[in-house]
Amino acid sequence: MQKNGPFALAFHTLIVLFVLAPLIVVCLVAFTPQNTLSLPWDGLSLRWFAAVFHHPDFVASFWNSARLALFSATISTMLAVPSALAITRYSFRGRDALNALFLSPLIIPHLVIGVAFLRLFSFIGATGSFGWLVAAHVMVIMPYALRLILAALNGMDLSAEMAARTLGAGEWTVFRRITFPMLLPGISGGWLLAFINSFDELTMSIFVTAPSTVTLPVRMYMYASESIDPMMAAVSTLMIALTGVTMIILDRLFGLDQLLVGKG
Amino acid sequence: MGFLQLEQVSKLYGEFAAVRDFDLEIERGEFISLLGPSGCGKTTTLQMIAGLVTPTNGRITLDGRDITREKPARRGLGVVFQSYALFPHMTVAQNVAFGLEMRKVAKAERDRQVAEILSLVKLTSLADRYPREMSGGQRQRVAIARALVIKPPVLLLDEPLSNLDAKLREEMQFELRRIQRVVGITTIMVTHDQAEALSISDRVVVMEGGKITQVDHPYSLYEHPKNNFISSFVGKSNFLAARAMNEATGVSLRVDNTDLKIPATGSYPGGELCLSVRPEKIRLTDPAGAMLHGPVSSRYFLGNHWLLSVSTPAGEISVAVANLGAPPPSEGDITGLTWNIEECRVLAAEQESALQS
């Protein structure tokens, strides 16, 4: 690999610093012993982390978000696997349209989707229902799972399935014993990506959550619009840590480049 | 009636015929090669026998049973794919055991048969490895073991050696034949490599443009190719434009300015003909009294032989000279060429022009 010159190295360092600076500042502020948002010049304190764990709304919202992300990521992955198989393996009328439809939530602003769901939910009387919240999340996070599974399917050698067939395996056995295990890295990567996206989703969730189903990002948004204190920084730090750990696991298991860029 | 029989088998993709009117009878225990350039329909033929492609027309019977429309899982043939198609998430032993598992063979019996076949392909020590931890040649052996362990009536090999480097390919070629002999299994191999086909098959089926052009034993195929395509595809050949002097009996041919008496092996068609001579059948002689002569235009040393190109009035002629110690004439030297009349083939000239177009 080619080495960077001193100028390029300085440039890259600046870019990386620029991207990371806000996160670093938030993480530092979280450790302040003061009552205001300030850098911890005079000693470190975990009091704001403690405050988060003693704030029942935040704890409840965290579990809401976790439960929501777990359900919606699992359901969207279960929908994405057969969809991806249909799109890559079969040619039928409207295949491209279907593919575009499945991926469209990526390009439609979440604000628009949120308003649309708000109208729909109040129309069918689903406001405040956890099930319908899951459905809304499934719609916006499925494209992430689908994209990864599509990439995995496109890179897969079909002859392994043919070989299994010649060895006496029926269609279902081929899927269960060969296709699914070979796709597993793509599927689990898709699941994790969907999970993170659901856990982080704010714009749409603002419109469709009810007091009993408020997610963590929505709770933070509500809290921050009333008052700003270092507890927000502590929550943010926890979320950054959680996402970071997930990303490291993803990278160790499958390689992030391969998951996010696809095998081409 | 052959053990495996293909009758008038065709595969059409719209207007395009990938395989047309394929007729072949294969005896039990035979090793058959389907040889041809890419796109000649050899792989499609193999896939139709395996059941991975459904023929448009025709009939395939195995041991008297019509299998034309049977699913691959029910045919029970052993297939080795070009990419080996090993299951990457299973160990060697699990890969090999897969077919037995599908046949609901009990665990103990399965283990015994897997061990037996792995020892046949000399992989016993690697049973617990994953395919990604193995070399190309080893993966190839796993693929063969996996196909053979179900005791299929026929083994189908799709370009089995094309992913191996030259040295390994030669080794595996004879290894393949050894295994085939030990098991005594009827085998069909698809290849585009004529050396491979000639060295290990009982019979070679040459295909071109979806059709069979010749079916023969390797030696007769090489010595008596039916047309220019075969003589240039199977080995190398020099083609000389010729004319029959006596059209009725066809015993005398005019090549360039020389008359060649050719033993009558049948009547030759009148008009333009073509003479095919293999490079290794030509001898270098004194220019005086030689059939053709001219300067050596290029000379390559290939280890066990030299490859010379000689510019003669009849065109550039390739000559292979065995390396017997003394180097042949160098570039620019005038040399004479001669060969035994019985060792050249007479073919109709149209075939060549059709091939070149």
- Give the per-residue pLDDT at A256: 66
> The domain B4-223: what is its CATH number?
3.40.50.300
CB pairs under 8 A between A and B: 64
Q: Determine whether the interchain pair B87/A170 forms a contact, defined as Cβ–Cβ distance below 8 Å.
A: no
B54, B81, B159: which to substitute to probe chain A, counting the most A Cβ within 10 Å? B81
CB B100 within 8 A of CB B120: no
The proportion of chain A whose per-residue pLDDT surpasses 90, expressed as a percent, equals: 39
Angle between helices A110-124 and A130-154 in degrees, nearest 10:
140
Indicate the residue of B51, B89, B99 with minimum beta-carbon distance to A167: B99
Prediction ipTM score = 0.76
Cα-Cα-Cα-Cα torsion B36, B41, B44, B49, nearest 10 degrees, comes to: -70
The CA distance from B277 to B273, in Å, is: 13
A157, A167, A183, A254: which to substitute to probe chain B, counting the most B Cβ within 10 Å? A167
Give how far A96 is from chain B: nearest CA, Å: 23
Tell me whether domains B4-223 and B236-356 share a fold: no
* DSSP class per residue in B273-320: EEEEE-GGG-EEE-STT-SEEEEEEEEEE-SSEEEEEEEETTEEEEEE
| Chain A partners within 8 Å of B72 (Cβ) | 162, 165-166
| CB burial string A74-109: b at 16+ within 10 A, e below | bbbbebbbebbbebbeeeeeeeeeebeebeebeeee
**A16-19: which pairs have CB atoms within 8 A and are 24 or more residues apart?**
none
The proportion of chain A whose per-residue pLDDT surpasses 70, expressed as a percent, equals: 95
Give how far B350 is from chain A: nearest CA, Å: 41
Note the pLDDT tens digit of each residue in A14-40: 999 999 999 999 898 888 888 888 887
| A262: confidence class by pLDDT, cuts 50, 70, 90 | very low
Residue tagged 């019996």 (tokens): B109
* CATH superfamily name and code, B236-356: Nucleic acid-binding proteins (2.40.50.140)
Indicate the residue of B78, B89, B146 with minimum beta-carbon distance to A182: B89
Q: Determine whether the interchain pair A168/B78 forms a contact, defined as Cβ–Cβ distance below 8 Å.
A: no
Q: A182: nearest CA in chain B? A: B89
CB B19 within 8 A of CB B191: no
More confident residue, B349 or A237: A237
Note the pLDDT tens digit of each residue in A180-199: 999 888 898 899 889 989 99
Q: Determine whether the interchain pair B102/A165 forms a contact, defined as Cβ–Cβ distance below 8 Å.
A: no
Secondary structure (3-state) at B189: strand
Average model confidence (pLDDT) across chain A: 87
The CA distance from A233 to A26, in Å, is: 5
Whether the pLDDT of residue A134 is over 60: the answer is yes
Domain boundaries, chain B: 4-223, 236-356
Indicate the residue of A157, A160, A170 with minimum beta-carbon distance to B73: A170
Note the pLDDT tens digit of each residue in B129-143: 999 999 988 999 999
Q: Determine whether the interchain pair A166/B83 forms a contact, defined as Cβ–Cβ distance below 8 Å.
A: no
| Chain A partners within 8 Å of B147 (Cβ) | 166
A166, A171, A172, A183: which to substitute to probe chain B, counting the most B Cβ within 10 Å? A166
Give how far A182 is from chain B: nearest CA, Å: 7
- Of A13-17, A120-124, A224-228, the poorest mean pLDDT is in A224-228
Note the pLDDT tens digit of each residue in A59-100: 999 999 999 999 999 999 999 999 999 999 888 888 889 888
The CA distance from A135 to A50, in Å, is: 34
Q: Determine whether the interchain pair B85/A169 forms a contact, defined as Cβ–Cβ distance below 8 Å.
A: no
How many other CB atoms are found less than 10 A from the CB of residue B205? 24
Q: Determine whether the interchain pair A166/B72 forms a contact, defined as Cβ–Cβ distance below 8 Å.
A: yes
CB B343 within 8 A of CB B277: yes
Quick check: B155 contacting A, CB < 8 Å?
no
- Per-residue tokens: A177: 């014993």
Give how far B98 is from chain A: nearest CA, Å: 7
What are the distances in angstroms from CA B162 to CA B43, B81, B155, B184?
Answer: 13, 11, 17, 24
- Per-residue tokens: B138: 């080893």
Give how far A173 is from chain B: nearest CA, Å: 9
More confident residue, A263 or B222: B222
Domains of chain A plus CATH, in order, are 56-261 (1.10.3720.10)
Give how far B57 is from chain A: nearest CA, Å: 22
Q: Which residues of A touch B (CB under 8 A)?
A: 157, 159-160, 162-170, 173, 177-178, 181-182, 184
The CA distance from B48 to B5, in Å, is: 12
Give the strands of the sheet with B78-80, arranged side by side: B78-80, B154-158, B186-191, B31-35, B203-208, B211-216
The two beta strands, B203-208 and B211-216, are antiparallel
How many other CB atoms are found less than 10 A from the CB of residue B325? 5
- Per-residue tokens: B255: 């090549």
- Give the per-residue pLDDT at B271: 66
> What is the pLDDT tens value at each position of chain B, 357 positions in all?
689 999 999 999 988 999 999 999 999 999 999 999 888 999 999 999 999 999 999 999 999 899 999 988 889 899 999 999 999 999 999 999 999 999 999 999 999 999 999 998 889 999 999 999 999 889 999 999 999 999 999 999 999 888 888 888 888 888 889 989 988 999 999 998 888 888 889 999 999 989 999 999 999 888 888 877 787 777 788 888 777 766 555 556 667 666 676 655 555 666 677 788 888 888 888 888 778 888 999 899 888 888 999 988 878 889 998 888 878 888 888 898 888 877 787 777 655 444 433
Q: Determine whether the interchain pair B150/A181 forms a contact, defined as Cβ–Cβ distance below 8 Å.
A: no
The two beta strands, B4-13 and B16-26, are antiparallel
| Identity of residue B305 | H
Note the pLDDT tens digit of each residue in B191-217: 988 888 888 899 999 999 899 999 999
State which H helix or E strand residue B51 sits in: none
Q: Determine whether the interchain pair A168/B103 forms a contact, defined as Cβ–Cβ distance below 8 Å.
A: yes
- The B residues from 27 to 86 touching A (CB cutoff 8 Å) are 50-52, 71-79, 81-83, 85-86
- Give the per-residue pLDDT at A264: 34
How many other CB atoms are found less than 10 A from the CB of residue A73? 27
Q: Determine whether the interchain pair A167/B150 forms a contact, defined as Cβ–Cβ distance below 8 Å.
A: yes
Minimal CA–CA distance to A180: which of A153, A214, A220?
A153
Q: Determine whether the interchain pair B85/A170 forms a contact, defined as Cβ–Cβ distance below 8 Å.
A: no
Indicate the residue of B81, B146, B147 with minimum beta-carbon distance to A159: B81
- Per-residue tokens: A114: 């949120």
Quick check: B130 contacting A, CB < 8 Å?
no
- Give the per-residue pLDDT at A261: 52
| Chain B partners within 8 Å of A164 (Cβ) | 87, 98
Give how far A149 is from chain B: nearest CA, Å: 17
Give how far B80 is from chain A: nearest CA, Å: 8
